[in-house]
Amino acid sequence: MTAEQRANVARAIKETEAGTTGRIVVRTIPDRDVDAFERAKREFERAGLHRHVTRNAALILVAPKAKRFAVLGDRALHERVGDAFWNDVVRETQPYFARDEVEAGVLQAVSRIGAALHEFFPEPVEAMPS
């Protein structure tokens, strides 16, 4: 992805995370041959997402040269959305990646994961003082 595309993704993540306790990280790797899911698990830990206090972080890993990607959510998020959700995210984003539209695919995945974070993990609203 270009610098502008990375900036667009970063902005989308920031906007998506606002109002939730969740966290989304995107990793783009240059590997030509990779087991995307196994690499996503390593990157998840490398990014410290497994230490996110609410255990509702997600990672999107993209390996454009290998034409592979993976999405991974931590325990609390996965317990709420289940396997079908992750399968849907993969099914919906795969056509973008197949057409080398990496930015569009990542933005689609961020949007879907963000919707789940907003539904299940909204940021607590502080009570107004009386």
Amino acid 123: pLDDT: 86
- The angle, 0 to 180 degrees and rounded to 10, between the axes of the packed helices 102-120 and 3-17 is 10
Q: Give every strand in the sheet of 68-73, ordered side by side.
A: 23-28, 57-63, 68-73
For the segment 67-107, what is each residue's pLDDT rounded down to a tens digit? Answer: 899 999 999 999 999 999 999 999 999 999 889 999 999 99
Q: Tally the residues of the chain.
A: 130
Domains of the chain: 3-119 (3.10.310.50)
Tokens of 123: 């940021």
Tokens of 13: 């993540």
Amino acid 1: pLDDT: 85
DSSP strand pairing (57-63 vs 23-28): parallel
Tokens of 94: 């795969």
25 SS3 class: strand
DSSP letter at 58?
E
For the segment 9-27, what is each residue's pLDDT rounded down to a tens digit? Answer: 999 999 999 999 999 999 9
The number of beta carbons lying within 10 Å of the beta carbon of residue 46 is 13
| 130, pLDDT greater than 60 | no
| pTM score, whole prediction | 0.91
Amino acid 124: pLDDT: 78
Question: Stretch 110-118: mean pLDDT, rounded?
Answer: 97
> How far is CA 112 from its chain centroid?
9
Question: Stretch 52-77: mean pLDDT, rounded?
Answer: 94
